[in-house]
Structure 1
Amino acid sequence: MTQLSTVPGDLSRLTTLVRSNDLEETKEIISNAYSPYELRCLGDAREFHAWYAESGFPGITVSGLQYGSPQLHAETLIRPQALDSYLLMCEVTHGRVTVSRPGREECSVEPGGTYVLDPYSGFQVHWSPGARMTTVRLERETMEQAAADSLGLDRPVRARFALGPSVSPQAARSWSGISQAVHREVLGDGIARQNPLVATHLTQATAAVLIQTQRLITPGVDPQRTGAVAHPAVRRAMALAQERADEPLTLADLAVAARVSPRALQEAFRCHLDTTPLGYLRDVRLDRAHQDLQTASRDGSAGVSDVAYRWGFANLGRFAASYRDRYGHPPSTTLNS
């Protein structure tokens, strides 16, 4: 199992909701925070202890959770009901947990290891004394849309995940990177707390990375991840290019709008449109320049250089060459027609 620490920052900065030696109090508070669950102390009940804390920004909640103490012997067993409205990406930071879906699958997770709990079925987790984890919580609708995007569908898809680690060491590193960014935003009072646009982009990017790095078992999804990006990502990038063609857009801007990585977006454009994202943007700008030159030919409102600069073509020679390739004649011919 590839193990990468993804928890930068001080977990004491999370808001503590429970720190208790009382089983019933803990059960009530955490049931309200997660979902109703069975909680048992496997050993001397006087050794039971629980800590739970959380914080986040719109779209994502980061939590810290610990049961028992490493200096004592009591283990803990929890059996939550299905999470229903959200998904949890869990990382063990101390001790060991064994997570299972009764009668189906089971995995043991040590520090640095991760696993996903999807919203659709119950599960149980056996905690060693003092085991601790952090979780990243994403809404069910967000994950189902990310799954649909990965399949090229226009309707949400149930995002089911196998228990266990990422699909590859490279995927584990990718998840580690986005997880660190999320934890820094939460534990370091990042701008996602105050800026809804940043929060939305980071939430969508987190969901997209999770879909591509974990073992998705939804029927029709390739668990080996071929890397192909579905056409909704292309449509989102195309829409941004159309809407803001007069702005200095970059490949990174288009990728953020598409909710995929720049490299994945380039591959998608080559697959679906036989061009690149920036090539498509250039063509949109050429079309707008062509329209402006046609207007200027009637009312004399602008020259070739005015139109070229308006649509981001700083090099007039290159603009003229691209225009000729697309329309079969130089821009001056359109202007003087």
Structure 2
Amino acid sequence: MRKRFSEGSTIASTVATGDDFDELENTFQAFLAPDTVKLHTPAPTGFFDISQLSGLRIPGIDPNGLSVYEMTLDSDVVLDGEETPDAYTVVVTIAGRNRMAIGRDPVPARHVLTGPDARFRACFEHADILLLRVGRQLVADAMSERLGEASRSTLQFDPAIVETSGMDQWIRLLHTFSETAASGLFDRSPLAATHFEKLLLHGLLDTQPHSLSGELAQDRPRPASTALRRAMTYCQEHAAEAVSIGDLAVAARISVRALQLAFRTELGLTPLEYLRRVRLDHVHQDLVAIAQGRAEGTVTDVALRWGFTHLGRFSGLYRETYGKLPSETARLSA
């Protein structure tokens, strides 16, 4: 599984190749939480090859994007690391052997899915691997689209991928995606790539069990009200501003009372509760950017920027939503 992509492709490229396993460790550090990554090669012979077939060619992960990699390890490699706060990674073992543990728990499956901030240990034995990395925000946006409301917490997938008929078909779809990307077709048709990526993402949400599978199974409709959609869009576009329920009513072109009824009936929230969720998600994204070195500031700066003036209540709300304190996400002190 080496260099299957067409030469000259603007999307596909070699990320790292050779027999210097220190370079391989540096590559993993660039794409994961770097201060956590340790790589051990019991017998450092043979070669490695990592090729990116789609997605932005940048270290780490685009929170709003999706990328696919092929990895060949002609050696035994043990990788200890931590996923970034912004990514999910699907590890599909094509050949050889891959034994993984999430935290201290072994995952009894050939194919594995890791989530944001997950600590893992992977033991690759002369393995050919297909990797799909999906941005956390892309998953959150897809769930919001499906459920008709902003996600209340970070979605958690079951780590073990069991090859039921549905997941088996999804894995074949991933293979097809990688082959199509390698062929260069997506260079010529970015629209085709976008549609294929959505198919992969929604197929994963429907076939791999996760913390919101029950809500998807209820087949909840998207908000039917045009007025409500206007109000939700206004929340997204003006989250950094002082927004009143009157502002939302004007944007929705209905009365305050009708707006309150629409939010309560269709989303089970008040308009300002929905706005608070939107702002909290912006807070989370800013803190992740600080942790990754893409932005500067403190937890207090970020909280105040998005309208959270009572820091104690803000910390409690953040922890309830994301399962950790804001400072733990940003890896700095408030």
TM-score relative to the length of structure 1: 0.55
Matches for 1:187-266 after TM superposition, within 5 Å = 187-190=182-185, 192-216=186-210, 218=211, 221-222=213-214, 226=217, 228-232=218-222
Identify the residue that residue 61 of structure 1 maps to in structure 2.
Answer: 67
* 1:57, distance to aligned residue in structure 2 (A): 4.2
Alignment partner of 2:16 out of 15, 18, 41: 18
Residue pair 1:149, 1:233 contacting (<8 A) in 2 also:
no
* 1:34, distance to aligned residue in structure 2 (A): 4.1
Residue pair 2:5, 2:183 contacting (<8 A) in 1 also:
no
Which structure's CA Rg is the greater one?
1
* RMSD, aligned α-carbons: 3.2
Determine the C-alpha separation between the residues in 2 that align with 1:132 and 1:173. 18
Residue pair 1:22, 1:48 contacting (<8 A) in 2 also:
no
Identify the residue that residue 124 of structure 2 maps to in structure 1.
Answer: 127
- SS for the counterpart of 1:95 is strand
Determine the C-alpha separation between the residues in 2 that align with 1:89 and 1:105. 16
- SS for the counterpart of 1:83 is coil
* 1:195, distance to aligned residue in structure 2 (A): 4.1
Alignment CA distance shift 1:221-1:152 (3 Å): farther
Alignment CA distance shift 1:172-1:24 (3 Å): same
Identify the residue that residue 39 of structure 1 maps to in structure 2.
Answer: 39
- SS for the counterpart of 1:131 is strand
How many equivalent pairs are there?
A: 213
Matches for 1:275-290 after TM superposition, within 5 Å = none
* 1:24, distance to aligned residue in structure 2 (A): 1.8
Q: Give the counterpart letter for 1:222 in structure 2.
A: G
Determine the C-alpha separation between the residues in 1 that align with 2:196 and 2:206. 15
Deviations 1:253-283 (A, max 9, x none): xxxxxxxxxxxxxxxxxxx9xxxxxxxxxxx
Q: Give the counterpart letter for 1:184 in structure 2.
A: E
Alignment partner of 2:171 out of 176, 198, 202: 176
* 1:131, distance to aligned residue in structure 2 (A): 1.0
Alignment CA distance shift 1:35-1:193 (3 Å): farther
1:87 aligns with 2:74: no
TM-score relative to the length of structure 2: 0.55
Identify the residue that residue 132 of structure 2 maps to in structure 1.
Answer: 136
* 1:148, distance to aligned residue in structure 2 (A): 3.4
Flag structure 1 segments of 5+ consecutive residues without an equivalent: 1-6, 70-74, 240-271, 273-337
- SS for the counterpart of 1:183 is helix
Q: Percent identity?
A: 13
Determine the C-alpha separation between the residues in 2 that align with 1:57 and 1:66. 19
Q: Give the counterpart letter for 1:102 in structure 2.
A: G
Residue pair 1:141, 1:156 contacting (<8 A) in 2 also:
no
